Amino acid sequence: MSARSIRRGVPRSGGIVDVLIYTILIVMAIITLYPFLNVLAISLNDSTDSVRGGITIFPRVFSLQNYKAIFTYDTLLTGFKISLLRTVVGSLLGLISASMLAYTLARRDFQGRRFVSLYLAVTMYVTAGLIPFYILIKDLNMMNTFAVYVLPGIVSAFNVFVVRSFMDGIPYEVQESAKMDGANDFTIYWRIILPMTKPALATIGLFLAVGQWNAWFDTYLYNGSSEHLTTLQYELVKVLQSTTNNSGDYRSMTVNRAASTVSPDSVKMAITIFVSVPILLVYPFLQRYFVKGLTLGSVKG
């Protein structure tokens, strides 16, 4: 049997099961596609017309004004660059930290294993609160820096545990043989284990990237007054908040109305699309790691 046929074939007997599976999946795809198409349609629709509602998956009165409204803000470019930078740097740092820690925890012979696992797990559930953390950042002189985007969050216990659970599936012989060849723990980690945990890395990488890309609250809290460090999401949230009004301070509403001809809801939709697109473009490259049958097989190696 060639490798090809192994990957391909299941005996034809699963006919009805196949149909059932495909049907369910198609239904799920339709249900989950709808909100996104709806948002896309409204974003491409004239805003005054959108207020009338009733738009489903096609724009009724096609218009690019919502996107134009976003692009009138020239801080977007800086935001885009910074967001991109922090996504790349933050994800890489997070990947290294998670995989390295996961490796040490996956090694049953590591003494500190139980303690470190416990120590990390607890970090997931205790929060000090906004004010002490804010003061910490201030005391570390990380206010108004790029570092505050990528440094504090380097260690994520959740990511560590996910990667570790993947690493637990790697047979020990692999490490044994490497050790016999004289490799130290770090080399084993870097050269052998890491390449074998690609699905895990892809998954965590995706979560990290999405988290970094969508982050704006830290910009708001720590870098609010530095335009050169603004992030894309933060700029868009600013646009959004300016047109809608969440505060109960309705009395200053009349004083504060900026002249705007583009209704807020359609801008909200355009923003959603605008921010999602990059992730959607990146995802297909990661997707192959979630496909069955790609990774293991190095047992013999």
User: Which of 19, 35, 58, 177 touches other proteins by CB under 8 A?
Assistant: 35
Least Å distance, CB 113 to other proteins, is 8
The DSSP element (H or E) to which 201 belongs, if any, is helix 198-214
User: Which of 19, 29, 57, 64 touches other proteins by CB under 8 A?
Assistant: 29
Assess 80 for contact with other proteins (CB under 8 A): no
Q: In the complex with other proteins, which residue's Cβ is closer, 180 or 250?
A: 250
- Quick check: 78 and 238 in contact, CB under 8 A? no
Q: Which residues does 121 contact at the CB level (< 8 Å), separation at least 6? A: 157, 161
Q: In the complex with other proteins, which residue's Cβ is closer, 52 or 58?
A: 52
Q: In the complex with other proteins, which residue's Cβ is closer, 44 or 101?
A: 101
Residues that bind other proteins (rule: CB under 8 A) add up to a total of 161
Binding mask 36-65 for other proteins (x = CB under 8 A): x-xx--------xx-xxxx-----------
Q: How far apart are CA 143 and CA 95, in angstroms?
A: 25
User: What are the residue ranges of helices labelled H in 72-197?
Assistant: 75-106, 113-123, 130-139, 147-150, 157-167, 172-180, 185-187, 194-196
Least Å distance, CB 181 to other proteins, is 14
Q: Which residues does 70 contact at the CB level (< 8 Å), separation at least 6? A: 76, 236, 239, 267, 270, 271, 274
Q: How far apart are CA 58 and CA 118, in angstroms?
A: 51
Interface with other proteins in residues 116-145 (CB under 8 A): 116-136, 138, 141-145
Q: In the complex with other proteins, which residue's Cβ is closer, 31 or 180?
A: 31
Assess 169 for contact with other proteins (CB under 8 A): yes
Phi and psi of 160, rounded to 5°? -60, -45
Q: Which of 15, 299, 41 is nearest to 171 (CA)?
A: 299
Burial (CB count within 10 angstroms: exposed 0-12, middle 13-18, buried 19+), residue 155: middle
Q: In the complex with other proteins, which residue's Cβ is closer, 180 or 258?
A: 258
User: Which of 4, 12, 31, 285 touches other proteins by CB under 8 A?
Assistant: 31
Q: How far apart are CA 70 and CA 271, in angstroms?
A: 7
Assess 180 for contact with other proteins (CB under 8 A): no
Radius of gyration of the chain (CA): 25
Interface with other proteins in residues 83-112 (CB under 8 A): 85, 88-89, 92-93, 97, 100-101, 103-105, 107-112
Assess 177 for contact with other proteins (CB under 8 A): no
Q: In the complex with other proteins, which residue's Cβ is closer, 180 or 255?
A: 255
Interface with other proteins in residues 185-224 (CB under 8 A): 185-186, 189, 191, 199-200, 202-203, 206, 220-221, 223-224
Assess 241 for contact with other proteins (CB under 8 A): yes
Q: Which residues does 226 contact at the CB level (< 8 Å), separation at least 6? A: 144
Least Å distance, CB 138 to other proteins, is 5
Q: How far apart are CA 213 and CA 67, in angstroms?
A: 19
Interface with other proteins in residues 253-272 (CB under 8 A): 253-263, 265, 268-269, 272
- Quick check: 168 and 54 in contact, CB under 8 A? no
